[in-house]
Amino acid sequence: MRTLEGGYDALLCGAGGQTPRAKRLAGQGGRVRQGKARNLIDGLRDRACEVLGFIHDFRIPFGNNEAERSFRMAGAGQKISGCFRSFEGAERFCRIRSYVATVRKNKEPVLDWIVRALLGDPFLPTGS
């Protein structure tokens, strides 16, 4: 674990050396605006615990693609129809998508569990 953290720190130091901080110009007031690359390096350094969380707790996924996929459909629904008709409709959509994602994540047949949920026997994941 320490080796991975050390390698991560070394990469950030190398990147920081190649991307110096912007300097304050004469007569310039306020905060000095940094470039996108510098902001990324600073953010990765400031949030190293969150970025490297998966090496300490194996339940944390390596990437956030699963979370992005879960919300992508809501965005597509909004683009196609323009918007949800009501907040309640958006909540229902998200609840159904969450249920389907949970069933898929547990490698269960989605359609079977939707039918069972409608019959009053919803899928309840077991804690492991």
Tell me: the pLDDT tens digits for 60-97?
A: 776 666 666 666 666 665 555 556 677 787 788 888 88
What is the pTM for the complete model shown?
Answer: 0.48
Count of domains in the chain? 2
How far, in Å, are 4, 10, 55, 57 from residue 60 at the CA level?
16, 23, 8, 6
| Domain co-membership, 76 together with 113 | yes
8 Å CB contact between 106 and 123: yes
Instruction: Report how far Cα 84 is from the mean position of its chain's Cα atoms.
Output: 23
7 and 46, same domain (yes or no): yes
Same domain for 71 and 111, yes or no, is yes
Kindly state whether residue 87 falls inside one of the protein's structural domains: yes
Handedness of CA 94, 98, 99, 104 (dihedral sign): positive
* Residue 128 covered by a domain: no
Domain with 71 in it: 65-118
Is 127 contained in some domain? Answer: no
Residue 90 lies in a domain: yes
| Contact by Cβ (8 Å): 97, 74 | yes
Q: pLDDT per residue over 8-52, tens digit each? A: 999 999 998 898 888 877 777 788 888 899 999 999 999 998 888
